[in-house]
Amino acid sequence: MAKKVLIVGGVAGGASAAARLRRLDEEAEIVLFERGAHISFANCGLPYYIGEKIQDRSKLLVQTPESMKARFNLDVRTHSEVTKVDVKEKTVTVNSKTRGVYQESYDDLILSPGAKPLKPPIPGMESERIFTLRNMADTDRIKSQVDRENTRSAIVIGGGYIGVEMAENLRHRGLDVTLVEAAPHILAPFDAEMAAFAEKELQDNGVRLLLGDGVQSFAEKNGGIAIVLQSGREIGADMVILAIGVAPDTGFLQDSEIKLGARGHILVDESMQTSCEGVYAVGDAVEVTDYVSGAPTAIPLAGPANKQGRIAADRICGLPSSYKGTQGTAIIQIFSLTGASTGANERTLARLAVPYRSVYVHPSSHATYYPGAKPIALKLLFDNEGKILGAQAFGAEGVDKRIDVIATVLRLKGTVHDLAELELTYAPPFSSAKDPVNMAGYLAQNVLRGLTEAAAPKELELYDPERHILLDVRTVAEYDQGHIEGARHIPVDDLRSRIGELDPEKEIWAYCAVGMRGYIASRILKQRGFRVKNVTGGYRSYSMWKFVPGDR
């Protein structure tokens, strides 16, 4: 007898599960419910359609109900919201635009309800000038507002990926844009000194940043909308994009026996099965395991959702697939800059009390003697045994492949020694003989082997002239253009002949532009009996640590 599988929700997880199920079982009865009109659309592309980088709306529709029916013989029911799941009777209750309210039975059930934008109970939230972005209907409403001649300004609330992408795309449309973020920095997966690269890029492209300040209230005023911030400051615009995060859309499961986590996420095991036999869940609504720390987490990304949908389908068909956790690998474009990360950041490691070390390198995207090389800022986090815990990078080009390589080594439980040993492609237009990934590995090895002691830029807050010497080893021209206050200047090429100027009783903190000359200086001094640290990432990383947007 043919198996009957119901799928609640399409897009990444549900649609992937449906297609995989059909490829594995030609006889199964597969019904996919979607409460909206579209079962599979490129939700990551929505901001770019609003910004008109993507001109053709139809390109966002990955699959239509008709195409899924034709290729995979699915029973696709749009405008059909599942409102209840009865795991004992193995039925779901459906509220359909065309069929009304009815029940549908199942042998196996896959839940892919996704996540919905957070809308906290802030006064004035009901204004029609406040928009959220989740689906095609939201996209059409936002674009219609942006297209109006009298829409000249926008305020984006929230500095996550969607908020930053919307800020960029609204600027591309010529709007005056302000981005408000309650936290001290945008882009939470990145540590502060790395997020500063994104903040500077936004500011340089005309986005006004208000950080460390949340929203107190909204009110329609003078044909627009006014916002009072927690600081008491009032700002206004023609429209607001609310992008402060998402919550799992699992309200319809509250009365079921399916177990939910503290924040409403569906709890699943490695097979993506819920607490109820024959019921699986995938995508943004599930709680999974953090691959690095082993702690429970929820990361709403399309890549994991697709993999989870495939695994759920495999399990239903008897294949031994399992999901080992997510490492949160993600990337974002911000005007001419690219930012990417994988694994844990410092805040997460500190919160979980995981010991870690960090290093920074600032190599070029390819050989510097070949035209067009662009700088990359790369941060690597690792433990005392060399196990990779995370990485973050920003740059104009070459960032994606470096983080992808590190993400792969991390997934395979590799170490910084593996990064040093990787044999990666090299030709002058593409890389250097020492790829940035190799360079990060080399520096981490030097730290672990005691060849250098790295000081993170934030440690300079502890600088005490009574106990330390802050030593700038760059050239005279570089020092004159800007240096850390209190630094003594001895160029690295003069260090051996001027070493007598340094007090051997004090610990020396050496720095250069990006860290390499600081390392050379530290090796010279260490072998002459000095206690010395090298400020990893040099003046460039320190400058980003101290960066403050102009309108804060």
Domain boundaries, the chain: 4-114+247-316, 130-244, 336-447, 454-545
Task: Give me the pLDDT at residue 42, please.
Answer: 79
Active site (catalytic) residues: 44
pLDDT digits (tens, 9 = 90+) for 166-175: 999 999 999 9
d(CA 334, CA 161): 10
pLDDT score recorded for residue 66: 81
Q: Quick check: do 4-114+247-316 and 130-244 share a fold?
A: yes
Residue 22, φ and ψ in degrees, nearest 5: -65, -40
The sign of the CA dihedral 271, 277, 278, 283 is negative
Q: Percent helix, strand, coil in the chain (nearest 5)?
A: 30, 30, 40
d(CA 60, CA 184): 34
> To the nearest whole number, what is the mean pLDDT of the chain?
95
Q: pLDDT at position 43, please? A: 82
Taking the C-alpha atoms of residue 171 and residue 187, their distance in angstroms, rounded to an integer, is 18
Indicate the angle between helix axes 192-204 and 538-545, nearest 10 degrees. Answer: 80
Secondary structure of 23-69 as H, E, C letters: HHCCCCEEEEEECCCCCEECHHHHHHHHCCCCCCHHHHEEECHHHHH
Mean pLDDT across 65-94: 92
**432-490 pLDDT per residue, tens:** 999 999 999 999 999 999 999 999 999 999 999 999 999 999 999 999 999 999 999 99
Of 73, 93, 72, residue with least CA distance to 82? 93
Q: What region, left, alpha or beta, does residue 272 occupy, with left being phi > 0 and alpha being psi -120 to 50 degrees?
A: left
Q: Taking 80 as the threshold, does the pLDDT of residue 40 lie above it? A: no
In this prediction, residue 65 carries a pLDDT of 77
Reading the block at residue 82, the tokens are 């599942």
Beta strands in 97-211 (DSSP E): 100-105, 108-111, 115-117, 130-131, 153-157, 176-181, 208-211
Say yes or no to pLDDT of 1 above 90: no
Dihedral in degrees, nearest 10, Cα atoms 257, 259, 262, 263: -90
Q: What pLDDT sits at residue 386?
A: 98
Percent of the chain whose pLDDT exceeds 90: 91
User: Can you give the pLDDT at residue 551?
Assistant: 60
Q: Which are the contacts of 381, defined by CB distance < 8 A and separation ≥ 6?
A: 343, 344, 345, 346, 349, 356, 357, 358, 388, 389, 390, 391
pLDDT at position 438, please? Answer: 98
pLDDT digits (tens, 9 = 90+) for 100-136: 999 999 999 999 999 999 999 999 999 999 999 988 8
CATH architecture of the domain with residue range 4-114+247-316 = 3-Layer(bba) Sandwich (3.50)
Q: Does domain 130-244 have CATH number 3.30.2390.10?
A: no
CATH code: domain 336-447 is 3.50.50.60
Tokens of 328: 């949160």
- Two structure tokens written together for 430: 């593409």
Determine the average pLDDT of the residues in 34-48: 85
Measure CA 432 to chain center.
27
In this predicted structure, the answer to whether residue 552 has a pLDDT above a threshold of 60 is no
Q: Identify the band that residue 382 occupies on the pLDDT scale cut at 50, 70 and 90.
A: very high
Where residue 64 falls among pLDDT bands split at 50, 70, 90? confident
Q: What is the pTM of this model?
A: 0.93
Residue range 254-264: mean pLDDT, rounded: 93
3-class secondary-structure state, position 302: helix
The DSSP code sequence of 327-358 is ---EEEEETTEEEEEEE--HHHHHHTT---EE
302-354: pLDDT as tens digits: 899 999 999 999 999 999 999 999 999 999 999 999 999 999 999 999 999 99
Provide the pLDDT confidence category of residue 63 given band limits of 50, 70 and 90: confident
Q: What pLDDT sits at residue 120?
A: 93
Mean of pLDDT values over 249-256: 93
CATH top-level class for 454-545? alpha beta
Report how far Cα 30 is from the mean position of its chain's Cα atoms: 34
**pLDDT (0 to 100) of residue 10:** 81
Looking at residue 265, the DSSP 8-state letter turns out to be: P
Distance in angstroms (rounded) separating the CA atoms of residues 123 and 126: 8
Mean per-residue pLDDT, 397-406:
98
Average pLDDT over residues 203-222: 96
Query: Nearest to residue 338, comparing CAs of 403, 269, 266, 277?
Result: 403
Round to the nearest angstrom and report the end-to-end CA distance of the chain. Answer: 65
Copy the structure tokens of residue 538.
Answer: 């040099």
Average pLDDT over residues 537-548: 94
